[in-house]
Amino acid sequence: MSVLLELAGITRRFGGLRAVSGVDLAVAQGEIIGLIGPNGAGKTTLVNVITGVHPASAGTVRFGGKDVTGQKPWQAARRGIARTFQIVQPFPEMTVLENVTAAALFASAASYGGEAEGAAMEELRFVGLADVAARRASALTLAMRKRLELAKGLAMKPRLLLLDEVNAGLNAAEIDQALALIRAIAARGITILIIEHLMKVVLNLCSRIVVLHHGELIASGDPQSIVKDPRVIQAYLGRRYAPASS
């Protein structure tokens, strides 16, 4: 498979704090990669660098074979990089349909008018929110707002979708529904990088897991090798995984 996203020596500093340090990562087209690590490990910061929210202090970002280091968020969106946010914040007074339409327009994935609304409605059907398209976003449950975030990302017609804690706050049944939806997204040929704390999700969903600790990438591999890695057990998973490594 061809490499879609390539990070080389990515570092991000905030004053004297090095939030991300020298991260190298290659993501192949069609992969579902899990990004895990303790709170404060630099996971969201790394996604922010990829999407242009924060410029890299050092290193390069390549997407689709092109150097996109220093791109702005709107440029990332129009190149085919979409993301969701850990704290879901739709435009509360806009309808569900208007929220998704705005995302399509932001990424220039559709023209103004009926084309943009049509594209938005297609994604609302896909995520199961078509019946609440006319409802204000502020009236949605948390699980529905999470699906709205996915619809907004999909309306941008991404090649790469970055998911930040998309399952946080959901119950077991809602997580199972979210997993099925993410698999359906991947089946459309969209590459996925997911930040996730729930190991059940990562182990069942991802073909590869990468682990950050203190801003550094300490491990990368298939799920079974990751849960047996002593560095990962010590830094993140804890002793409950120690028997599996023996």
CATH number for the domain that contains residue 208: 3.40.50.300
DSSP H or E segment with residue 99: helix 96-106
Of 20-24, 45-49, 90-94, 237-241, minimum mean pLDDT range: 237-241
Helix (H, G, I), strand (E, B) or coil at 176: helix
116: pLDDT confidence band, cut at 50, 70 and 90? confident
Examine the domain organization and report whether 47 and 113 are in the same domain: no
Examine the domain organization and report whether 196 and 245 are in the same domain: yes
Q: Is 128 left (phi over 0), alpha (psi -120 to 50) or beta?
A: left
Examine the domain organization and report whether 148 and 96 are in the same domain: yes
Examine the domain organization and report whether 48 and 104 are in the same domain: no
pLDDT tens profile 25-79: 999 999 999 999 999 999 999 999 999 999 999 999 999 999 999 999 999 999 9
120: pLDDT confidence band, cut at 50, 70 and 90? very high
Q: At residue 112, does pLDDT exceed 80?
A: no
Mean of the per-residue pLDDT values of the chain: 93
Q: At residue 245, does pLDDT exceed 80?
A: no
pLDDT of residue 237: 86
pLDDT of residue 113: 64
110, 129, 157: which is the final residue of a domain? 157
pLDDT of residue 239: 62
Examine the domain organization and report whether 167 and 244 are in the same domain: yes
What is the distance between the alpha carbons of residues 194 and 228, in angstroms, rounded to a whole number? 21
Structure tokens at 167: 């399952």
Examine the domain organization and report whether 66 and 175 are in the same domain: yes
Structure tokens at 202: 């990562």
Are 5 and 51 in contact by the 8 Å Cβ rule? The answer is no
What is the distance between the alpha carbons of residues 66 and 11, in angstroms, rounded to a whole number? 19
Of 84-88, 133-137, 146-150, 174-178, minimum mean pLDDT range: 84-88
pLDDT of residue 109: 62
For residue 17, give the amino acid letter: L
123, 157, 191: which is the final residue of a domain? 157
pLDDT of residue 238: 83
* Structure-token match 């996925």, residue found: 192
Task: Specify which residues 209 forms β-bridges with.
Answer: 34, 221
Domain count, the chain: 2
Range of the domain at 22: 1-80+159-246
Are 162 and 81 in contact by the 8 Å Cβ rule? The answer is yes
Give this prediction's pTM. Answer: 0.92
